[in-house]
Amino acid sequence: MEVTPVREIAESLTDFVRSNQNISYLILANNPSGYYLYNQIANATFYSLILGKLLEYSRPKMIDLGISCLLADIGMCKVPSSISEKNEQLSEEEFKAIMKHTILGYQILSQKMKLKNNLAIVALQHHERYDGNGYPQKLAGTAIEEQARIYAIADNFSALVTNRPHRKKILPHEAIKSMISMDVGKFDLKLVRTLLNHLSLYPVGSCIELSDKRIGVVLGPNLDKPIRPYIRIIKDEYGTMVRNLILVDLLKETNLFISRPVDLQEITA
């Protein structure tokens, strides 16, 4: 396998992420559809690069991170599709076969493709967990390379914010909160909180429902009161699309509040 096309993709993604200052927009805008495994790899790489940007990685270091993430699941090509694409619960033997993809992937990258260890290590370690309960080596803490810790977070985050056959996606800030509260110990919390600290509760472009049942899109934050942003109304209380310009400043409209975030697909359905 030639690594040049992978490098070109990593360079493109890196430059896109580095050129955009709005982290919430980047996360909100990443909404692909299609084959789940392919999208999961692309999404996890994208979110890994966002974390790399937040950690002030240099462009070359971000490109290397992108390459290692794009190739993280290369070992899955050695797992029978009858197992890797199975929607039902895996048997113990099938799960053992899945677990082997980490070692197989590392062997492909380091031995067959002769890649540097920093480009191959994510394939080996991306299922290790910060508390030592991952696989294949049961490494813990900083014994897991930072780029693998980044990818583990990005991979889990991507799975939560992407529709899957057995579960609907959740909104980005809900995914981060879930990773902090429900998966204590699994991930490097310093890295998880780095992502959370740069996510607006109601990002620009996201949709919300107001307490009077109207639906709006967030135009911008009120910096002093992040829970009371500027809103443009797009649906009235009866669910009818609004064509004229109606703006709401929740900082001034004290009788209104946001009752819940709304998925864009829910509005257009």
pLDDT, tens digit (0-9, with 9 covering 90-100), for 170-209: 777 778 778 877 666 899 989 988 887 777 677 777 889 9
Neighbours of 36 (CB within 10 A): 15
Q: What percent of the chain lies above the pLDDT cut of 70?
A: 88
User: Which two three-digit tokens encode residue 194?
Assistant: 């780095």
At 137, the pLDDT band (50, 70, 90 cuts) reads: very high
Q: Tokens 């949709």 correspond to what residue?
A: 207
Q: In CATH, what is the architecture of 4-197?
A: Orthogonal Bundle (1.10)
pLDDT digit string, tens, across residues 57-94: 999 999 999 999 999 999 999 999 899 888 788 899 99
Residue 32 has a pLDDT of: 46
For the segment 14-21, the average pLDDT, to the nearest whole number, is 89
pTM: 0.78
Note the pLDDT of residue 93. Answer: 94
Would you give the DSSP letter of residue 167? B
Hey, what are 37's tokens? 């495994």
Residue 24 has pLDDT above 70, yes or no: no
CB 123 within 8 Å of CB 102: yes
- Give the end-to-end CA distance of the chain in Å, rounded to a whole number: 42
Does position 234 have pLDDT exceeding 90, yes or no? yes
pLDDT at 6 over 60: yes
How far is Cα 219 from Cα 229, in angstroms, rounded to an integer? 7
A 10 A CB-CB count for 193 gives 13
Q: Say whether pLDDT at 31 is over 60.
A: no
Work out the average pLDDT over 3-12. Answer: 92
- Where do you find CATH 1.10.3210.10 in the chain? 4-197
d(C-alpha 202, C-alpha 264), whole Å: 13
- Quickly list DSSP for 73-117: TGGGGGS-HHHHT--SPPPHHHHHHHHTHHHHHHHIIIIIS---H
* pLDDT, tens digit (0-9, with 9 covering 90-100), for 99-116: 999 999 999 999 999 999
Give percent of the chain with pLDDT exceeding 90. 59
What are the C-alpha distances in Å from 51 to residues 40, 195, 256? 16, 7, 35
Q: Is the pLDDT of residue 96 over 60?
A: yes
